[in-house]
Amino acid sequence: MKINSNYLNLEESYLFSTIARKIEEYQKENKDAKIIRLGIGDVTLPLAEEVIKSLHKAVDDMADKSTFKGYGPEQGYGFLRDAVRDYYGSYGAKLESTEIFISDGAKSDLANILDIFHIDNRVLVPNPVYPVYLDTNIMLGRNVTFIDANMENGFLPLPDESIPADIIYLCSPNNPTGAVYTREALQKWVNYALKCNAVILFDSAYESYIVDKDLPRSIYEIEGAKSCAIEFNSLSKTAGFTGTRLGYTIVPHSLVFEGVSLNKLWLRRQTTKFNGVPYVIQKAAEAVFTEEGQREIRANIEYYRENARIIAETLDSLGVWYTGGKNSPYIWLKAFDGMTSWEFFDYLLREANIVGTPGAGFGANGEGFFRLTAFGNRENTIEAMERLKRLRNRA
Amino acid sequence: MKINSNYLNLEESYLFSTIARKIEEYQKENKDAKIIRLGIGDVTLPLAEEVIKSLHKAVDDMADKSTFKGYGPEQGYGFLRDAVRDYYGSYGAKLESTEIFISDGAKSDLANILDIFHIDNRVLVPNPVYPVYLDTNIMLGRNVTFIDANMENGFLPLPDESIPADIIYLCSPNNPTGAVYTREALQKWVNYALKCNAVILFDSAYESYIVDKDLPRSIYEIEGAKSCAIEFNSLSKTAGFTGTRLGYTIVPHSLVFEGVSLNKLWLRRQTTKFNGVPYVIQKAAEAVFTEEGQREIRANIEYYRENARIIAETLDSLGVWYTGGKNSPYIWLKAFDGMTSWEFFDYLLREANIVGTPGAGFGANGEGFFRLTAFGNRENTIEAMERLKRLRNRA
């Protein structure tokens, strides 16, 4: 029996383990230091009240023979697919319920979608970016071509028509940079994909942080996108579902390659390899899309957005270059004084007891940059920014 | 962009849709007919009380900032991995917690495990069997070799040393035949796998229906299995979790191929492509493994087992050949009078208003056989067997 040797080509990521070790070592030597973690990529506020109510009710359904649910449809219950359709419709992306597939998260689907594509496809991946896009392709033995994101293009690269591509990853609002594509920029990507018959894999997991009405929350707000794009979304950051697990993937019926409907291929993949999301979790998600549910999760998102605003305002006042922070929970800043990402990590930990994430962990183009997030609590975020101001003014 | 054209080699399964259509047509023409469905492969009893209590408590955890859970470990929480380890230990299969990976079900893992194996491996699949084994290999472009299960070997084929194999699928108690391998027979498979350096993918999703102490519930009760076998288990049929979704896959540390630990490869696969099972669902599963939880789920299993006993007893009294029904929720019988599977389906529907599943739907060797299940309710199962007796005695 031979293993899939492509796995041996994966680089081990020591990003988060190295961060943890450095914090531990520092804390040991500086027992009184109050370290503030702004590197956290996970939500901290509890589930909304409407979601909790719906969960309790769904649990009771499972306790009674007459309302008990066994196997459900692999692609999700109609009540939830309809709710997602209406949510997209509310900001101008018109979808059919049968184009929406409920899953246990955007990460799983972003990995699993590669099942339905031919191994010979040429893949474009932005750099820096969420490491799953690259790793899942390496596991299949694919070389990928990087698209350079950098200060010059505001970490929002545009298509280069001289580079051929079949599969294109885009993430907006971006992880890790927080940068958000405009309609015009996304239209260029859609036009390019249509021209070279490529498919765009559009990760919109942070769309709920967009408040600027001019910015697109879904790629389906862009003309032509339903013929070239699959969109991946999630309730993880929208409704605090990182430990509750629910995402959805949109595969429009008009996506047809080599005469075959991608919607049908994905349905076949999911019915063969997946058994659907727990009924109680789908009921929890349904509550997110009710009027009261939306009001409650909005309050949580605004709490995080205010943290982001406080960070961005501080960087503005200090004249530090950054992207994100306005329509995104992430702030991506240039390390002070030409430091590398890790030098800046050590500097902030030592001089201000602040922890963030070194940008180099997201790809070579992340070197010299640093990610802060808005998922901490208010008091800590304010205190961290006061420390940052003192540190900068001292320097 | 090119699609994965292997998908075009999949045979569309019309098994369950054809069954549904035939029932609908018959009911339309025979409005008063009381049709009893014994083809159902899904549980019907609600979740156990301990599970419900644990779910409600876990939901409350998610409502409070101090107990809220965000991202958990992709491979499952320690409390649940420990509980599974102790469950296996209770019947003699000694495992470490780090060998146990919690997932959303055996079906997902049986499909996803193929990620870590080289495409060139030669695959053995029993026939008839659960269609996922075959379909997931076809999706990868693999040809599989079938192992003949039939009346002569009691639908429990043994290894044929003249056939080379790298990956071997076994399912015991079997779906669809209900047949259970003895220790001696499994030892032959383990010896064969060790000899030809193959890996066994052992599906034990129905192990909790085994009451005969002489029959193995886990392949790890067999000497040498920890060096050649991965086991897939699930709470679907054990605790009624078909709509609640939790399974677990066991990858022993001593499974090493080409110098690489399969446990490490699978961990890498899961951390990259999966984000774990919802916290509340893992807490539900934890309750299954408590003393009271085991007592309650046992009562449900015994309810289904009694249905199976009633069916088996009826077939015994009629002199009908079958497998299963004793340590399994499935009964696999020979169609009466040399009928094909579908002829027998039509005959039972028309003459006794009983619905089962045609064996031909599980592979060519299922032709002429028929699957009944124990997941219906008691009264219907008894009435169906009375009808079967009358039908047989009339013939």
- Are residues B272 and A132, on separate chains, in Cβ contact within 8 Å? yes
Whether the CB of A271 is below 8 Å from some CB of chain B: the reply is no
**What confidence tier does B11 reach under pLDDT thresholds 50, 70, 90?**
confident
- Single out the residue of B31, B369, B355 nearest to residue B177, CA to CA: B369
Q: Is position A361 annotated in a ligand binding site? A: no
The token pair at B220 is 């790890």
Is cis: bond before B157, omega within 30 of 0? Answer: no
Distance from CA of A148 to the nearest CA of B (A): 22
In order of A206, B131, B387, the CA distances from B368 in angstroms are: 54, 18, 21
Residue B13: predicted pLDDT? 78
Q: Say what the pLDDT of residue B394 is.
A: 83
Kindly tell me if the per-residue pLDDT of B17 is higher than 90.
no
Does A395 have pLDDT greater than 80?
A: no
- What are B56-105's pLDDT values in tens digits? 999 999 999 999 999 999 999 999 999 999 999 999 899 999 999 999 99
Distance from CA of A209 to the nearest CA of B (A): 19
pLDDT per residue over B211-232, tens digit each?
999 999 999 999 999 999 999 9
How far off is chain B from A131, nearest CA to CA, in Å?
9
Pairwise CB contact (< 8 Å): A72 & B117: no
pLDDT at A220: 98
B45 touches chain A (CB under 8 A): yes
Q: How far is A180 from chain B (nearest CA, A)?
A: 25
- What's the pLDDT at B12? 81
Pure H helices in chain B: 15-29, 49-62, 78-90, 106-112, 132-139, 183-195, 262-273, 279-288, 291-318, 341-352, 378-394
Q: What percent of chain A has pLDDT over 70?
A: 100
At A12 the pLDDT is: 81
User: Using a CB-CB distance cutoff of 8 angstroms, which residues of chain B are in contact with residue A274?
Assistant: 104, 107-108, 111
Terminal C-alpha separation, chain A: 60
Residue appearing with tokens 């789908």: A282
- pLDDT band for B3, please (50, 70, 90 cuts): very high
Measure CB to CB from residue A1 to each of B135, B198, B269 and give the nearest one: B198
Does A265 lie at the interface with B, CB-CB under 8 angstroms? yes
Contacts of B58 in chain A (CB under 8 A): none
Is any Cβ of chain B less than 8 angstroms from the Cβ of A31? no
Smallest CA–CA separation between A391 and chain B, in Å? 32
User: CA of B246 to nearest chain A CA: how many angstroms apart?
Assistant: 9
Chain B residues with CB inside 8 Å of A122's CB? none
* Predicted local distance difference test score (pLDDT) of residue B14: 78
- Chain A residues inside the 8 Å CB shell of B265: 3-4, 7
pLDDT exceeds 90 at position A11: no
Q: Is B237 annotated as a binding residue?
A: no
User: Is residue A161 packed enough to be buried (19+ CB in 10 Å), middle (13-18) or exposed (0-12)?
Assistant: exposed
**pLDDT score of A15:** 87
Report whether CATH 3.90.1150.10 matches the domain A5-46+293-394.
yes
Per CB-CB distance under 8 Å, the chain A contacts of B60 are: 52
**What secondary structure does DSSP assign to B210-245, as a single string?**
---TTS-SSGGGSTTGGGTEEEEEESTTTSS-TTT-
User: What local confidence, expressed as pLDDT, does residue B15 receive?
Assistant: 87
Check pLDDT > 90 for residue A97: yes
ipTM of the complex: 0.97
The residues in B 109-148 lying below 8 A from A, measured between CB atoms, are 111-112, 115-121, 132, 135-136, 139
For residue B330, pLDDT beyond 90: yes
B334 annotated to bind ligand: no
Instruction: State the fold for domain B13-42+293-394.
Output: Aspartate Aminotransferase, domain 1 (3.90.1150)
Looking at CA atoms only, how far is residue B330 from chain A in angstroms? Answer: 18
| Domain range summary for chain B, segments of one domain joined by + | 13-42+293-394, 49-289
pLDDT band with cut points at 50, 70 and 90 for residue A183: very high
Q: By C-alpha distance, which of B194, B104, B102, B161 is closest to A282?
A: B104
A236 is annotated as contributing to ligand binding: yes
- The minimal CB distance from A166 to the residues B1, B65, B72 is found for B1
Tell me what pLDDT residue A319 has.
97
- Per-residue pLDDT, B209: 98
CATH code that applies to domain A49-291: 3.40.640.10
Judge if B13-42+293-394 and B49-289 fold alike in CATH terms: no
Residue of A nearest to B45 (CA): A65
Cβ partners under 8 Å of residue B54, min gap 6: B283, B284, B286, B287
Mean pLDDT, chain A, rounded, equals 97
**The CATH number of domain B49-289, selected from 1.10.3720.10, 2.60.120.560, 3.40.50.620, 3.40.640.10:** 3.40.640.10
Q: Tell which A residues from 69 to 98 touch B, by Cβ distance under 8 Å.
A: 69-72
Per-residue pLDDT reduced to its tens digit, A311-337: 999 999 999 999 999 999 999 999 999
Distance CA A338, CA B310 (A): 79
B183 is annotated as contributing to ligand binding: no
How many A×B Cβ pairs under 8 Å?
Answer: 226
Nearest chain B residue to A1 by CA distance is B166
* pLDDT > 90 fraction of chain B, expressed in percent and rounded: 96
| Per-residue confidence (pLDDT) for residue A5, from 0 to 100 | 96
Q: Which residue of A has its CA nearest to B263?
A: A3
Amino acid at B44: T
- pLDDT recorded at residue B40: 80
Virtual CA dihedral for A43, A48, A51, A56, nearest 10 degrees? 100
